[in-house]
Amino acid sequence: MQQRICAKIQVNGEHIIAKVIVLCWLDLAVEKKTLTIKVARMLAEEVTNPRGIACLTYNSECVHELKRKLKILGVQEDKNVFIGTVHSFCLQVVLLPYGKLAGVALPYPFSVALPSEQIKFFERALAETVSPEENPSPWRTKMDYYRRTYLDRDKPEWQKSPQIAALIENYERGLRSSGLIDFEDMVLLGMHLVEKEPWIRKAVRARFPVLVVDEYQDLGIPLDRIVKSLCLNGGMRLFAVGDPDQSIYGFAGAKPELLKDLSNLPGIEAIPLRFNYRCGSDIIRASQVTLGEDRGYKSIGGYSGTLYFHECPDGINDQASQTAHPAASCGVFI
Amino acid sequence: MIQNFRNFKNFDIFLSDQSVIVGENKIGKSNLLFALRLILDPSLPDTARQLGLEDFWDGLSRPLSKEDKIIISIELSDFDDDDNLLSILADCLVNHDPMISRLSYVFQPVSGLADDPKKESDYEFLVFGGDSPENVISYDIRNRMPLDVMPALRDAESDLSNWRHSPLKPLLDDSSSRISHDLLSSIASQISAANNGIIEVEEIKSLSGRITAKLEELAGSYQAFETELGFTPADTERLIRSLRLFIDNGKRGINEASLGSTNLLYIALRILELEQLVGQNKRDHTFLAIEEPEAHLNPHLQRLVFQKLLRSRISQTEESDKSEHSKFTTLILTTHSPHIVSVSPIRSLIALRKTIEGNATEGVSTSNLDLSENDIADLERYIDVSRGEIVFARGILLVEGEAELYILPAICKLLGKNLDELGITVCSVHGTNFAPYIKFLGSKGLDKPFAVLTDNDPQTGKISLGIQRLISLLPLIGPNEGLKEMSPDEVKRLGQTHGLFLNDHTLEIDLFKCGQHKSICKTLIELSDNGAAKKRANVWNDKPDQLDIDRFLKDIDEIGKGRFAQRLSSNISDVPYPNYIMSAIEYVSKKCR
């Protein structure tokens, strides 16, 4: 089940092609292949030294995997090829080179807080702003979600929960006093810099005329805003891959609908991929029934596949335990 | 900016995209280039970047302390329209509006050294971008925007005849890469055939036989080697390498060319190479430094070649892209040649000289001069015609015209001052348009001692032209407030303290009135064809107080001011001279110390 959206964005009369490829969980291999081949081709044909390409993906495992696949095609991480997470992109490509010059209020030089340091400052902030008696764990989840959701502190939404807002501000002050930032800071500060400073967009675009984003559905609002700022506003070309049906990181701030929204933006022409190389036609049909909409996906293998039905009379818990059972085979759990 | 390096204690200079650096011997022109090489030259090995204790500025007290460092940094701007350059320099930004990137070299005691450094191994060097020493500048940055130095002692002839150093090599390599292998092989086989043809000639064959036999006799058959005569190796790769440049319709090799032609050829080939590298996207910018480009070139060639090279950018706006190299090149010349200076753009000049303390070198640059296009054209023409004299002079007397050009040196000589020895030049602005010269020589330009000698030109019932002139010139030198409210005398006195010297009337009248009337009348009598004028001169000679100023000036005009001054300069006698001349000479020669 695949969907590809090709998008063209008109910027200053110059044709810039942004490709957003949306694929499904049933055929990851094709998605990766398309992405890596595209990167290798652009480096060979379009993007020449000393300029390069920046590839962003979700986490360090994805980074590792992407590096491995690109290496097979002869693409090495280099001064002009960046392969990393959104966090490392924000830190290395935006915050470190330009943060001080742009006047970001940080202690220079700063370092990244270890998990133990984060816990220390979080617990201190919790005790000071809420109460020393609280259980830190649920508050930590709340704080992380809040920081990833309300990104603009000068807007009224930031005060939606004054208590959590105060907690976050206290926590961040603690980190700064020890010359630290955490992973969330990297992304937030990087995003604000990119949005606020045209010269930073210009400099990033000079280094990396092409931005490649893998696993778009998992990367959340800040990345979405960074991409829009750099590509729609800063003239970088975008090549993005993702599958809205596949996101499993909702708890971490992932918003699969962002991918669809991006592809629906004015000036963006979307071409979905329809061919699936891995599944039989029956499996594809059954999946579309499950999704509740006909996506028009087609199988390419020429076989129908077999559907096994497992009855789970005790509802969702039964479904879960049968699926997780080591002896469970593939099939539909109803 | 250079700190504590060789001649430089605290040196800061603005280089534009074309710089012509002048300065006396040993002032540090080569050291300035070497400082740039430490940052930008990819062919400089790191062993050379590890400086020594002797490279610290001599004025530092020894032993050196932990705080003493050599710091060299360059700031680059105007690169942000070029995506390639911006991509290289984006990480080195120190300012974003306008974008300025800094590259630095620091030679300092190794970090963590407890005591003061004692030996060279206590030191390390860093080359980094922006303001963070962790942001190391690597070979690839240097390689994309390298500094190429053609040294003063280049041996163009041996470089040209040695394949490895030849500037012809990269050009031939590139050209031959586009020749089909088949064509090359076919040519090679023809050469092979020609070789065989000559070898088979009995006389030749026997000669190489004799050579081989002698080798065997000398070294024994085991160590001797076969020799063979031929034109050139006949395999395809060596074929290209064995190509040589010839001159005079192929009759003579480069080694028979004059040194001048060889140097000219060398420079031409290097520039072709630069164009090729940019064309192949191997580099994005070149800093090309040529030391003493005048080497072995006759004056006319110097002017021709460097007029093209230095001014091509101006003409380029019309003939677009005609000289590709200049767009991607920062050109730096160090020279002693008045011929090269005379064709240099007015804003490209850099003068190196000793600081007032005399123990370090400082530099002045004309790159930021506030001059109109017309002023620039006028100055460039003047410098062209005068062969750059005021650029090399230590001090300058700016005068209105030809008359002063003759009279001033004569007076100086009688005063026992040799202007050449003092390094003072008399420069005529041919009129009263002193402003561009003042800007050029003033503190924002070459910053040289100068004095202006100008006529008061009184007007009846109005403030004199000379005073008005001072009021318009003084703000260029310093004071610009309340000038209009001052009395003429106050303006005149203020002018004197800033090097503007006004007489009472005009040169000839002031000379006459100060006591030179006898030599003036003598000159009039000698030169005039007009009997009435001679008669008048005789009267004025005996009764100077009867001078009729208008008549007097007309009589001189009849002879011609220049002709008159030329003769007067040999008739002038050893009696007092006009005050404004004495003061101006005193003012400049004192500052030339």
CB contact under 8 A, A204 and B88: no
- The reported pLDDT for the residue numbered A249 is 65
CB contact under 8 A, B140 and A79: yes
Question: Strand A81-85 to strand A53-57: parallel, antiparallel, or no bridges (unpaired)?
Answer: parallel
CA distance linking residue A93 with residue B418, whole number of Å: 64
CB contact under 8 A, A199 and B90: no
Residue A302 counted as domain residue: yes
* Count of H-run helices and E-run strands, chain A: 13, 12
Q: What is the pLDDT of residues B399-421, one digit of tens each?
A: 999 999 999 999 999 999 899 88
Determine contact: A76 vs chain B, CB below 8 A.
no
| Greatest Cα-to-Cα distance within chain A, rounded to the nearest angstrom | 64
CB contact under 8 A, B83 and A98: no
Bond preceding residue A97 cis, omega within 30 of 0: no
Confidence grade of residue B560 (pLDDT, cut at 50, 70, 90): very high
CA distance linking residue A199 with residue A193, whole number of Å: 10
Whether the predicted pLDDT of B90 surpasses 60: yes
Q: Which chain B residues touch A101 with a CB distance below 8 Å?
A: 93-96
Average pLDDT, chain A: 81
- The reported pLDDT for the residue numbered B326 is 56
**Closest residue in A to B142 (Cα–Cα):** A50
Residue A81 counted as domain residue: yes
Q: What is the pLDDT of residues A205-259, one digit of tens each?
A: 999 999 998 888 888 889 899 999 998 888 888 888 877 666 566 666 677 788 8
How is the beta sheet containing B424-428 ordered, strand by strand?
Answer: B424-428, B395-399, B450-454, B500-502
Interface test with A, best of B80, B86, B136, B144 (most A CBs within 10 A): B86
Are residues A35 and A21 in contact, defined by beta-carbon separation less than 8 angstroms?
yes
| Count of CB pairs separated by less than 8 Å, A with B | 54
Higher pLDDT, B255 or B133: B133
Confidence grade of residue B276 (pLDDT, cut at 50, 70, 90): confident
Are residues A200 and A193 in contact, defined by beta-carbon separation less than 8 angstroms?
yes
Calculate mean pLDDT across residues B198-215. Answer: 85
CB contact under 8 A, A203 and B90: yes
Whether the predicted pLDDT of A10 surpasses 90: no
Q: What is the pLDDT of residues B524-544, one digit of tens each?
A: 999 999 999 999 999 999 999
Q: Which chain A residues touch B96 with a CB distance below 8 Å?
A: 98, 101-102, 197, 199-200
Whether the predicted pLDDT of A26 surpasses 50: no
Select the residue of B88, B96, B135 nearest A101 (Cβ to Cβ): B96
- The reported pLDDT for the residue numbered A246 is 62
> Which of the residue ranges A183-197, A244-258, B49-63, B477-491 would you say has the lowest mean pLDDT?
A244-258
Residue A329 counted as domain residue: yes
CB contact under 8 A, A50 and B84: yes
A173 lies in the same domain as A130: yes
Listed by number, the residues of chain A in 251-290 with a beta carbon closer than 8 Å to a beta carbon of chain B are none
Q: What is the pLDDT of residues B310-326, one digit of tens each?
A: 875 444 444 444 445 55
CB proximity list for B108: less than 8 A, separation 6 or greater: B69, B70, B123, B124, B125, B126
A197 to chain B nearest CA, in Å? 10
Other Cβ atoms within 10 Å of B384 Cβ, number: 16
* Six token digits for residue A318: 């039964």
Whether the predicted pLDDT of A24 surpasses 60: no
**Residue B223, strand partner residues:** none
* Count of H-run helices and E-run strands, chain B: 26, 18
- The reported pLDDT for the residue numbered B537 is 94
Confidence grade of residue B308 (pLDDT, cut at 50, 70, 90): confident
Determine contact: B87 vs chain A, CB below 8 A.
yes
Whether the predicted pLDDT of B27 surpasses 60: yes
Determine contact: A44 vs chain B, CB below 8 A.
no
Determine contact: B100 vs chain A, CB below 8 A.
no
- The reported pLDDT for the residue numbered A14 is 34
Q: How far is CA B96 from CA A192, A324, B66, in A?
A: 17, 56, 33
- The reported pLDDT for the residue numbered A16 is 39
- Most confident of the ranges A78-92, B221-235, B323-337: A78-92
Determine contact: B99 vs chain A, CB below 8 A.
yes
Three-class secondary structure of residue B321 per DSSP: coil
Whether the predicted pLDDT of B100 surpasses 70: yes
Select the residue of A101, A109, A206 nearest B86 (Cβ to Cβ): A206
CB contact under 8 A, B140 and A51: no
Determine contact: A51 vs chain B, CB below 8 A.
yes
Domain count, chain A: 3
- The reported pLDDT for the residue numbered B279 is 81
- The reported pLDDT for the residue numbered B315 is 44
Confidence grade of residue B112 (pLDDT, cut at 50, 70, 90): confident
Calculate mean pLDDT across residues A319-330. Answer: 67
Calculate mean pLDDT across residues B181-189. Answer: 86
Q: What is the pLDDT of residues B232-249, one digit of tens each?
A: 777 777 778 878 788 888
CA distance linking residue B75 with residue B571, whole number of Å: 57
Residue A289 counted as domain residue: no
Determine the angle formed by the axes of helices B561-571 and B402-414, rounding to 10 degrees.
10
Q: What is the pLDDT of residues B44-58, one digit of tens each?
A: 999 999 999 999 998
**Residue A12, strand partner residues:** none
CA distance linking residue A248 with residue B467, whole number of Å: 86
A66 lies in the same domain as A13: yes
CA distance linking residue B217 with residue B229, whole number of Å: 19
Calculate mean pLDDT across residues B422-441. Answer: 93
Q: What is the pLDDT of residues B351-381, one digit of tens each?
A: 999 898 889 999 999 988 889 998 898 899 8
- The reported pLDDT for the residue numbered B396 is 95
CB contact under 8 A, B93 and A209: no
A143 lies in the same domain as A265: no
* Six token digits for residue B574: 């050893």
CB proximity list for B162: less than 8 A, separation 6 or greater: none
Are residues A40 and A73 in contact, defined by beta-carbon separation less than 8 angstroms?
yes
Average pLDDT, chain B: 88
Interface test with B, best of A207, A210, A230, A236 (most B CBs within 10 A): A207
Whether the predicted pLDDT of A143 surpasses 70: yes
Whether the predicted pLDDT of A2 surpasses 70: no
Q: Which chain A residues touch B138 with a CB distance below 8 Å?
A: 79
Interface test with A, best of B80, B85, B91, B100 (most A CBs within 10 A): B91
Sign of CA dihedral B555, B561, B566, B571: positive
Residue A282 counted as domain residue: no
- The reported pLDDT for the residue numbered A136 is 92
- The reported pLDDT for the residue numbered A322 is 73
* Six token digits for residue A149: 């959701």
- The reported pLDDT for the residue numbered B314 is 46
Determine contact: B140 vs chain A, CB below 8 A.
yes
CB contact under 8 A, A209 and B99: no
Select the residue of B88, B91, B140 nearest A97 (Cβ to Cβ): B91
Instruction: Identify the DSSP state of B136.
Output: B
- The reported pLDDT for the residue numbered B321 is 47
Whether the predicted pLDDT of B350 surpasses 80: yes
ipTM score: 0.78
Confidence grade of residue B572 (pLDDT, cut at 50, 70, 90): very high
Determine contact: B83 vs chain A, CB below 8 A.
yes
Q: Which chain B residues touch A46 with a CB distance below 8 Å?
A: none
In single-letter form, the type of residue at position B500 comes to L
Residue A122 counted as domain residue: yes
A201 lies in the same domain as A317: no
CB contact under 8 A, A97 and B138: no
* Six token digits for residue B420: 């050449």
Residue A256 counted as domain residue: yes
Q: Which chain B residues touch A203 with a CB distance below 8 Å?
A: 86, 90, 93, 99
Domains of chain B: which residue ranges? Answer: 2-15+29-143, 168-259, 369-502, 507-577
CB contact under 8 A, A50 and B88: yes
Domain containing A232: what range? 3-99+197-272
Calculate mean pLDDT across residues A126-147. Answer: 92
Higher pLDDT, B117 or B325: B117
Determine contact: A106 vs chain B, CB below 8 A.
no
Q: Which chain B residues touch A98 with a CB distance below 8 Å?
A: 93, 96
Determine contact: A202 vs chain B, CB below 8 A.
yes
Q: Which residue has the tokens 């040589």?
A: B244
CB contact under 8 A, A101 and B99: no
CA distance linking residue A175 with residue A169, whole number of Å: 10
Are residues B167 and B265 in contact, defined by beta-carbon separation less than 8 angstroms?
no
Determine contact: B184 vs chain A, CB below 8 A.
no
Q: Which chain A residues touch B99 with a CB distance below 8 Å?
A: 199, 203
A103 to chain B nearest CA, in Å? 11
A76 lies in the same domain as A152: no
CB contact under 8 A, A51 and B144: no
Whether the predicted pLDDT of A277 surpasses 80: no
Determine contact: B164 vs chain A, CB below 8 A.
no
Residues counted in chain A: 334
CB contact under 8 A, B87 and A51: yes
Listed by number, the residues of chain A in 209-228 with a beta carbon closer than 8 Å to a beta carbon of chain B are 209
**Closest residue in B to A208 (Cα–Cα):** B87
- The reported pLDDT for the residue numbered B469 is 95
- The reported pLDDT for the residue numbered A247 is 58
- The reported pLDDT for the residue numbered A278 is 64
Q: Which chain A residues touch B87 with a CB distance below 8 Å?
A: 50-52, 80, 206-207
**Closest residue in B to A109 (Cα–Cα):** B132
- The reported pLDDT for the residue numbered A25 is 40
Determine contact: B96 vs chain A, CB below 8 A.
yes
CB contact under 8 A, A207 and B87: yes
Q: Which chain B residues touch A205 with a CB distance below 8 Å?
A: 83
Residue A204 counted as domain residue: yes
- Most confident of the ranges A236-245, B181-190, B193-202, B457-466: B457-466
CA distance linking residue A210 with residue A56, whole number of Å: 11
Determine contact: B284 vs chain A, CB below 8 A.
yes
A95 lies in the same domain as A120: no
CA distance linking residue A225 with residue A220, whole number of Å: 9
**Closest residue in A to B86 (Cα–Cα):** A206
- The reported pLDDT for the residue numbered B189 is 86
- The reported pLDDT for the residue numbered B245 is 82
A207 to chain B nearest CA, in Å? 4
Whether the predicted pLDDT of B581 surpasses 80: yes
Determine the angle formed by the axes of helices A136-149 and A183-196, rounding to 10 degrees.
10
